[in-house]
Structure 1
Amino acid sequence: MDSAIESEHPQGVPVEPPWGSLGRDFTLGVVSLGSKLILRWLNTYNTTNLATLEEIVRHRPDGTGLLTVCNHTSTLDDPVVMSNLMPWHFFASESHHMGNRWSLCAREICYKSKLLGQFFLSGKTLPIERGQGLGQPAMQTAAQLLARGDWVHLFPEGRVSFSGRLQACRWGVGKLICDAVTQSGRDPVIVPFYHSGMARIMPEHGRIPRVGQTVAVTVGEPIDVSDLTCQCHEAGNTQVWKELTERICSKLHALEEAAPPNPDQQSERQLSPGHADAHIEKQDPVLPEH
């Protein structure tokens, strides 16, 4: 899937690769290779309906954006799961098709130094600011990228769920869709998927990925939101943001019920000494709660 016209640079935060197009190829290629090593060689990886997503990534109409959404159970979900959704050569040849996903990461984690920020931007990851709300530059840029036909990935929960169950989704995903539709005049393709087992590979407080585990990815069918996006032109219509978010979250819940369960790390740490304050969840600022 080719991106839209290269001269149309989104406003907000930079998107150009700091080390050039070959640097972006190298970054994505190396990260995806390491991720495939973790998931496919050191662990077991199973998928359901993955061909549907790959077909959409490669062959959706020019100028039509792709928004993928999934649950969030470990700090390695992206890049490890995301890097296993497509073949390795798709990542290493980014400069030829510009079709890899854009993601979001907290600035204080991914951009805490100039070199680290360049690495993550080279890997198509935008910096999000805690507490800056839905109108911040990274969210504006993500909407512009989606509007011009790029692939954007979000975790609608906006945080890691240590309970293993899907948590409440935040309205930011609905606003992102509306902003993109308002700018482009067309709906993006929205594809949900649910993954199980990543919390066993990288549990809470983990530092080194574990081996011998099983991860399953279940891809859902595209979500039709055309009956809602027709209302996106109404400025400040937060109700449609809410309804879009609820529809997406309901599809994720349906996938969750059909997929293998994720471990409840909250229960596990209640049985372990020294975790009296571990009930405090790590918040991701990407999609603030309503």
Structure 2
Amino acid sequence: MGRRIMEWAGRPEHLGGIPRALVFSAVGAFAKVVTTCLNSTSVHNPQTLIRLVKSRPPGVPLLTVSNHMSTLDDPLLWGFKGFPSVDAKIARWVLAAEDICFKNKLLSYIFRLGKCIPITRGGGIYQEHMNEALEVLSDGGWLHTFPEGKVYQDEAPIRRLKWGTASLIVRSPVTPIVLPIIHSGFQKVMPEKSFFGRRPPVPLCNQDIRIVIGEPIHFDLKSLKQEAMVATPDPSFHSLGWPKTSPDALGEVAQRWLYANISDRIQTVMEKLRIYSTKV
């Protein structure tokens, strides 16, 4: 089993939860100011997200997915009016790039307090921190992912999604509620190369931000798994040595079929939302 970076700091009981509460109070207030006060933000269908965050059925996990347009998408995405961005208890867990957010012990500690799970780029869907993300879903928690895998700042169709998010949906003991979100404008708030070829030192103001929250995507995993079990490998198939899933004992060929099909469906829904967001 691989190591988990500073996992102890992410536990709710760490120092009585006081450091976590302070981080969410500060970061949540920052998100409110930037998203609500310093920029113009419109939100479509906010009530669906708020309802699922606050009052979904007990034990049922929530998995939100969105495009990725800036390094500040999270936390700014949760700073819109009416959203409980400072409530650490119901706040999301989020997959975060290890090479950006966990460069040193101080950053690791702060991001862990902020309920961030480090993910190693290129580490594969069975890296140890993905197991930690799976535990969040197993506990009925809320997890957010950016399935495109990296920041893309141009207004373009949704890229082919990485399989990590699909693997979490398949492996979760309770199938999560999957909620797609599309946003634009954060790439103008924190552009990658506007300040001497770098990101600006502080978020920019007076930008238009659009957030479009879709409806839950439902997956009939039982039927999908049955289809996956009779799937045949393509001629270029090369085994990566994936373990069989539990308790279904799905082999690598079946897993690849499942992850590809689920990812394609999520990508299609996200792209429809993106097109819709350009018209509202």
TM-score tier after normalising by the smaller chain length: 0.7 to 0.9
Whole-Å separation in 2 of the counterparts to 1:43 and 1:93:
22
Partner of 1:116: 107
Q: TM-score scaled to structure 1, two decimals? A: 0.78
Partners of 1:255 and 1:216 in 2: CA distance? 12
**Aligned AA (2:138):** A
Q: Which residue of 2 aligns with 1:283?
A: none
| Cα distance in structure 1, aligned partners of 2:81 and 2:91 | 10
Instruction: Give runs of aligned pairs for residues 140-159 of structure 1, distance below 5 A.
Output: 140-159=131-150
CA distance in 1, matches of 2:259, 2:125: 12
CA–CA distance in structure 2, aligned partners of residues 38 and 19 of structure 1: 29
Say which SS state the counterpart of residue 82 (structure 1) adopts.
Answer: coil
Structure 1 unmatched ranges of 5 or more: 1-10, 262-290
| 4+ runs deviating over 6 angstroms | none
Does residue 178 (structure 1) correspond to residue 166 (structure 2)? The answer is: no
TM-score, length of structure 2 as denominator length:
0.80
Query: Does structure 1 residue 249 correspond to structure 2 residue 267?
Result: yes
Structure 2: segments with no counterpart, 5+ residues: 194-198, 226-244
Q: Tell me whether 1:218 sits opposite 2:212 in the alignment.
A: yes
2:27 corresponds to 1:27: no
Measured in 1, the distance between the counterparts of 2:98 and 2:166 equals 22
For the Cα contact (< 8 Å) 2:43–2:80, is it kept in 1? no
Q: Does 1:65 align with 2:53?
A: no
Give the match for residue 102 of structure 1: 93
Q: Residue 222 of structure 1: CA displacement?
A: 0.3
Does structure 2 conserve the Cα–Cα contact (< 8 Å) formed by 1:107 and 1:127? yes
Give the Å deviation of 1:169. Answer: 1.0
Size of the alignment, in residue pairs? 242
Per the TM alignment, residue 105 of structure 1 is displaced from its structure 2 partner at its CA by 1.5
AA at the equivalent of 1:212? N
How many angstroms apart in 2 are the aligned matches of 1:150 and 1:48?
24
Report the 3-state secondary structure (helix = DSSP H, G, I; strand = E; otherwise coil) of the residue aligned with 2:43: strand
Change (3 A) 1:33 1:188: same
In the alignment, residue 201 of structure 1 is paired with which amino acid? V
1:21-61 CA distance string (max 9 Å, x none): 12111101110111111111111011010101111111111
1:104–1:126 Cα contact (<8 Å) kept: yes
Query: Per-residue displacement from partner, 1:123-175 (whole Å, max 9, x unpaired)?
Result: 00011123221111111110111122000000110011132222111111111
Matches within 5 A, 1:202-281: 202-205=190-193, 206-207=199-200, 208-227=202-221, 231=225, 233=248, 234-236=250-252, 237-260=255-278
Question: Could you tell me whether the CA contact under 8 Å between 1:19 and 1:122 is conserved in 2?
Answer: no
Following TM superposition, by how much is the alpha carbon of 1:193 offset from its aligned partner in structure 2, in angstroms? Answer: 0.9
Percent identical: 32
**Structure 1 residues 12, 163: CA separation in 2 closer, same or farther (over 3 Å shift)?**
same
- Summarize the Cα distance change of 1:100–1:169 in structure 2 as closer, same or farther, 3 Å threshold: same
Q: Which moved more, 1:228-237 or 1:242-251?
A: 228-237
Indicate how the Cα distance of structure 1 residues 227 and 176 shifts in structure 2: closer, same or farther if over 3 A, else same: closer
Which residue, out of 124, 127, 151, partners 1:160? Answer: 151
